[in-house]
């Protein structure tokens, strides 16, 4: 499971005041859950998913992992921009105890970056970086995938291919997807939550979640 216990995240502003992004969030995600988190731009979706991944630490409260959790797909987390795509793949493969050649074959076939795999990732466009990271994440098994709405980028053929592969890989895994697009959440998730003013409200009925989101 992935457990958030009364998680609060605050940032200090230039004027010395504090801005609360996440305000006492408690959530329990179990294997097989597919949860979409809706939020307007600036609502704190990126902060929430990085906190779930423990890339960032909460100001108070705790985040507990009792299953393996991916890095946040779509944020470039864990990649070194001075290294080539191929070197990043080899590094991450060894970090997770996987065969680098096996992972490389998968990522090269999936990401379709061609010669750019041998170039520093700082030369990549945001779309290329997303494709590399998405392919690398799918090549390694996790119990829970944290996914940003911008993960699958490119032409419609690639986006559909990515959608199908993600659906196949995560059929019995947990998914947490953040987005401000209701259609994206509906495509991947079975339940939804709305992040607004630091509070996360869960809805079993997705239509109810969408209605609450549209009313913001």
- Annotation: CATH topology of 1-70+144-216: Rossmann fold (3.40.50)
Domain limits, the chain:
1-70+144-216, 75-141
For the segment 9-44, what is each residue's pLDDT rounded down to a tens digit?
999 999 989 999 999 999 999 999 999 999 998 899
Burial (CB count <10 Å: 0-12, 13-18, 19+), residue 176: buried
Between CA 38 and CA 29 the distance in angstroms is 16
5 close to 160: Cβ distance less than 8 angstroms: no
pLDDT digits (tens, 9 = 90+) for 144-192: 999 876 555 556 777 778 778 878 887 889 999 988 878 878 878 899 9
């Amino acid at each position: 499971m992935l457990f958030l216990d009364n998680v609060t995240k605050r940032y200090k502003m230039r004027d010395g005041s504090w801005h609360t992004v996440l305000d006492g969030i408690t959530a329990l995600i179990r294997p097989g859950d597919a949860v979409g988190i809706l939020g307007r731009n600036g609502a704190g979706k990126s902060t929430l998913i990085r906190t779930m991944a423990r890339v960032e630490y909460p100001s108070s409260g705790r985040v507990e992992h009792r299953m393996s959790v991916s890095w946040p797909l779509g944020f470039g987390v864990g990649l070194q921009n001075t290294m080539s795509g191929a070197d990043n793949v080899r590094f991450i493969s060894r970090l997770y105890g996987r065969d680098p050649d096996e992972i490389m074959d998968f990522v090269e076939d999936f990401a379709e970056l061609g010669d750019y795999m041998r170039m520093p990732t700082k030369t990549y466009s945001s779309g290329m970086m997303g494709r590399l990271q998405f392919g690398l994440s799918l090549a390694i098994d996790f119990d829970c995938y944290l996914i940003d709405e911008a993960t699958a980028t490119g032409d419609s053929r690639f986006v559909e291919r990515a959608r199908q592969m993600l659906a196949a890989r995560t059929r019995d895994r947990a998914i947490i997807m953040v987005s401000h697009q209701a259609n994206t959440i509906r495509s991947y998730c079975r339940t939804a939550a709305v992040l607004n003013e630091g509070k996360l409200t869960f809805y079993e009925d997705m239509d109810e979640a969408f209605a609450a989101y549209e009313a913001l």
